[in-house]
Amino acid sequence: MGVLMLDVGGRRADGGRNGKLWIAENGLDEWWDSAETEFDEESAPDGDGAYDPTEVTLGPRRFPVSLLADASSPEWAELDVRTWATGLAKKLDLGFRVFHAGRWLSLRNAKVRGKVRVRPNRRDLRLTDIGFTVWAADPRKYGRTLTRTVDAVLQPKGGMFFPTVDGSINFGERGGVDFPGVFRLYNPGTADYLPSFKVTGPLDGFTIRSEDYVITYEGAVAAGQTLTLSPFTGGRASLDGADVSINLTEAGWAPVDGGQTRGYRFTPDNPRLGARLIIDYPEGAWW
């Protein structure tokens, strides 16, 4: 099936036996499944069947993983491999990602659901069987994170400032800028994703607009400061670590749907040299 690798808990497991840590036979099979569908099912009162649901959603992603580990000695298997494996149970983010077909796909904040099963091999105590269930609240698989930068101003000429972009106005295959202040993001996947934004000063405020979706920040960002905007929990704003969400007067994040190219316009208020918008977004998202 080609090259297969798994990163979890800071270690890498290969698709075949490598003398260290590898994926057991059929130990990652359910990675390729979708998450469980969820919808209301109401039986038809006067006939056969049921009412057709108006929406289908997906629950959290959940699947088993089985690994095999080979240590240099029985002592090292006990002191290192098995303690590492049981330590996975407390991690808030396993750093879980899979490489296959030439690309990495990651889960966000994946955790162990239930216990980590650790079994020393009685025939060879250097070997350890490891098993656990991965659980991720967000069922999407994300491609690698890409970053784009849009400058708020050009170098001044004749005392005037102009909105512009940083460097080339072509983002290549994964995104682009049509004219100053306007950029676009592409999603080759099947699931929607939400980009995140950072803004550096100096400027007095800004809007980011995409069709009917508007993000408005009514507050100053000084030179050397970084404002981080997160789409989660209804939209949050953090200025150098301090919560300034009160200045986020509109928080309309536009999702980039699977197969879609979405355009945005960044409009800064009174920007000076050094002010810029930084966009972080995945290379794609898949169910």
d(CA 31, CA 62): 9
| Residue 80, phi then psi, degrees to nearest 5 | -115, -60
Tokens of 256: 């980039």
pLDDT classification of 188: cutoffs 50, 70, 90: very high
Class of residue 26 by CB neighbours under 10 A (exposed 0-12, middle 13-18, buried 19+): exposed
Please give the pLDDT value at position 176: 54
- Residues recorded for the chain: 287
Residue 253: what pLDDT? 93
Give the integer Cα–Cα distance in Å for 218 and 10.
40
pLDDT score for 48? 87
- Asked whether the predicted pLDDT for residue 106 surpasses 90, the reply is yes
Lowest mean pLDDT among 135-144, 149-158, 162-171, 268-277: 162-171
Distance from C-alpha of 89 to C-alpha of 85, rounded to nearest angstrom: 8
User: What confidence tens digit (pLDDT) does each residue in 262-277 have?
Assistant: 999 999 999 999 999 9
CB 131 within 8 A of CB 117: yes
pLDDT greater than 50 at residue 171: no
- Segment 42-99, tens digit of pLDDT: 888 877 899 898 899 999 999 999 999 999 999 999 999 999 999 999 999 999 999 9
- CB-based contact 179:210 (threshold 8 Å): no
Are 90 and 53 spatial neighbours (Cβ–Cβ below 8 Å)? no
For the cut 50, the answer to whether the pLDDT of residue 191 exceeds it is: yes
CATH class of the domain whose range is 4-139 = mainly beta
Domain ranges, ordered by start, for the chain: 4-139, 144-286
Name residue, tokens 């994964």. Answer: 174
* The pair of three-digit structure tokens given for residue 118, joined into one six-digit string: 């650790």
Q: State pTM to two decimals.
A: 0.86
**Could you report the per-residue pLDDT of 128-144, keeping only the tens digit for each?**
999 999 999 999 999 99
* DSSP secondary structure of 65-121: EEEEEE-SSHHHIIIIIHHHHHHGGG-S----EEEETTEEEE-SS-EEEEEEEEEE-
- The confidence score (pLDDT) of residue 145 equals 97
Q: How many CB atoms lie within 10 A of CB 42?
A: 10
Q: Is 257 exposed, middle or buried (0-12, 13-18, 19+ CB in 10 A)?
A: middle
